[in-house]
Amino acid sequence: MSNHQPYQIGDYVFVEESPAIPYQIRKIAELDRYNSNDVEMKVKCFYRRRELPPDVAEQHSHVFSVEGLSEKEIYDLSLRELFVSQTFEIVHANRIRGKCNVIMMEDVVDENLVDLIRENATFFYHLSYDPVKRSIKSDKGYIRVGSEFQATIPNLIGEYQFSFMFTPMFNLSNIQ
């Protein structure tokens, strides 16, 4: 582990696969210590767009159109995009190169995008990638608002159809 920094379950970390490629981004799911110096971690995989197969990445190209950002800022923002997956792998702790932050795109408001770009170790995701099926889908369902998206509830009881109930212990008179 780098810099003797403590790591715990739920931390997002940089993992070095090879010195020739950018660090991979993972989330620690489990920590296993085999002896005092040997720690392995089960980590959840996140993928950068460049790590996706070209045909999958092309089918789901995303153009960030955010008012007030320059072309360079939009490009920098696109480099922070990740795809969450349900894939896990085991990595040795000596491959960890530090912590990073990962947030859902829905949690980012437009005013904070410039701050997100300025922070070197902050990434975001809004889609899920399945490397087995080679598919991308929305990570969260969308809530649609409007009358056309509301359920129609059928009338189960007619306007004047209801049941009178009587309990002898209350001694109700005819007036009540």
Domain boundaries, the chain: 11-138
**Residue 12: count of CB within 10 angstroms of its CB:** 20
Asked whether the predicted pLDDT for residue 137 surpasses 60, the reply is yes
pLDDT at residue 2, as a whole number: 47
**For residues 125-146, average pLDDT:** 77
Model pTM above 0.85: no
Instruction: Read off the pLDDT band of 67 (50, 70, 90).
Output: confident
Q: Which residues pair with 136 in a beta bridge?
A: 129
Q: How far apart are the C-alpha atoms of 154 and 58, rounded to whole Å?
A: 44
The CATH number assigned to the domain with range 11-138 reads 2.30.30.490
